[in-house]
């Protein structure tokens, strides 16, 4: 496979995967829809930080150990599942609290969730790194797009940066979309519905991760 062909083929594959709705999309939309724009961008940067780490470890051959070790994979899988279940259940429970006006996080009973870049970055990074399927995905996908004779580490990092760039562009579209409809999303009823939907999606991903092979 020629270098240019590998780059374009990888861009097409991860581009389609980026557009596919998933956990990352749900978290970004929910955070931005609640008016926490800085936290939303923090979540985006955290997710891409996790992607960079997975890509770097795969390029070094370290993530192959994760897929080879049943104990390591299972430990990370259950840690990720517990984190997702805790996050999703908390969203659903918060949506059931009486919030007649919900003008601010403090008045809504959510003092721990501030509109900070660091808070979003921690959430995004943890969500990504505690998903062992990301490591397995990179182990299975990345080597297929590294032509023979090309330095493995530099090519792997280049492909990872392409994935990150596409993720950042798509995240910018998602955040811009929530700003267009922010008038409707600021209504307490709409935010409660959004919390319940997002929480249910996150719980679903947690259950899927816990029960998956």
- For the residues of 61-103, what is the DSSP string, one character each? T-HHHHHH-HHHHHHHHHHHHHHHHHHHHHHHHHHTS--SS--
The pLDDT of residue 85 is 86
| Helix (DSSP H) and strand (DSSP E) numbers for the chain | 10, 0
pLDDT along the chain (213 residues), means of 10: 85 89 85 86 95 91 72 78 83 69 42 75 91 81 85 92 96 89 69 78 79 71
What is residue 109's predicted lDDT score, i.e. its pLDDT? 41
Predicted model pTM: 0.77
CA atoms 91, 97, 98, 99: torsion sign? negative
pLDDT at position 192: 77
pLDDT score recorded for residue 148: 85
Cα–Cα distance, 9 to 181 (Å, whole number): 35
Provide CB contacts within 8 A for 157, sequence distance 6+.
Answer: 55, 56, 59
- Amino acid 162: pLDDT: 96
């Amino acid at each position: 496979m020629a270098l240019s062909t590998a780059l374009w083929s990888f861009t097409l594959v991860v581009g389609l995967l980026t557009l596919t709705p998933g956990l990352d999309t749900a978290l970004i939309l929910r955070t931005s829809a609640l008016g926490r724009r800085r936290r939303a961008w923090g979540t985006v940067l955290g997710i891409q930080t996790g992607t960079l780490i997975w890509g770097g470890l795969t390029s070094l051959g370290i993530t192959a150990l994760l897929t080879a070790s049943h104990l390591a994979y299972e430990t990370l899988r259950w840690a990720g599942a517990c984190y997702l279940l805790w996050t999703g259940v908390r969203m659903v429970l918060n949506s059931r609290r009486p919030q007649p006006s919900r003008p601010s996080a403090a008045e809504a009973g959510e003092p721990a969730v501030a509109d900070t870049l660091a808070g979003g970055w921690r959430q995004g990074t943890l969500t990504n790194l505690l998903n062992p399927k990301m490591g397995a995905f990179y182990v299975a996908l990345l080597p297929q797009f590294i032509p023979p004779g090309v330095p493995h580490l530099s090519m792997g990092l280049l492909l990872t940066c392409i994935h990150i760039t596409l993720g950042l562009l798509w995240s910018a579209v998602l955040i811009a979309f929530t700003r267009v409809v922010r008038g409707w999303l600021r209504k307490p009823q709409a935010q409660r519905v959004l919390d319940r939907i997002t929480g249910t999606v996150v719980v679903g991903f947690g259950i899927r991760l816990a029960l998956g092979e």
